[in-house]
Amino acid sequence: MNVIQRSAINSIQRRNKLIIKDFEMMSLIKKILFSGTAVALLLSTPVIADEEDVKKGPIEDFWGDPVDLLKIPTAAKKKVNFKKEIWPILKEKCIDCHGPDKQKSEYRVDTREAAIKGGEYEEKAIIPGNSLKSPFIHFTARAVLDMEMPPKKKDFLTNEQVALLRAWIDQGAKWGDEEKDEKEEKKEASEESKD
């Protein structure tokens, strides 16, 4: 056997090994895709950039800068419990800089009124019923350049947390005492109708 023949045989053997590895990889991918675990994982993970949300764009923040809708997760498709799901996120990720002791940018999230009102920019941070237009979501989803909140990468909210916050805002941004919130909304609507 000469050098050319040996080289050709080695080349064929390497190609066959790659084909076998590719086949093994495809088999593994098929197993994962068709397993119950993968289906459950796909169903529970929020989708980034809901197609309907992207169609509503473009959206600008209150400085006129574009909001990257592709970074905003779809709102969770469930009724959200403020005390069990939202308050722990706010407490863990936001209160240190936007609570009763410290208010960066004059913004607080420790009361419903303050969280909705916003801070030094005099724009509402949360728009109950419309999470997609709420700057609070733009910032926590990291969809506005240089306004990522929380600012440290290690503290960024997960897509699941942002999806819960979106659902909470879309459901009216209730603050735990739904009865009290409904009374406040009726009072506000009554005052607006008087004007």
Mean pLDDT by 10 residues, the chain (195 residues): 66 60 57 51 47 60 73 91 94 92 92 92 89 90 85 88 95 77 64 65
Q: What would the two tokens of residue 50 be?
A: 């809901």
Domain range summary for the chain, segments of one domain joined by +? 3-44, 51-178
- pLDDT at 42 (0 to 100): 45
Q: Which of 104, 97, 93 is nearest to 153 (CA)?
A: 93
- pLDDT at 111 (0 to 100): 92
CA 123 – CA 40 distance, rounded (Å)? 39
Give domain 51-178's CATH number out of 3.40.1350, 3.40.50, 1.10.287, 1.10.760: 1.10.760
Please tell me whether the overall predicted TM-score, pTM, comes out greater than 0.75 for this model. no
- pLDDT at 124 (0 to 100): 92
- pLDDT at 1 (0 to 100): 65
Q: Which of 78, 93, 84, 169 is nearest to 131 (CA)?
A: 169
Contacts of 21 (CB under 8 A, 6+ apart): none
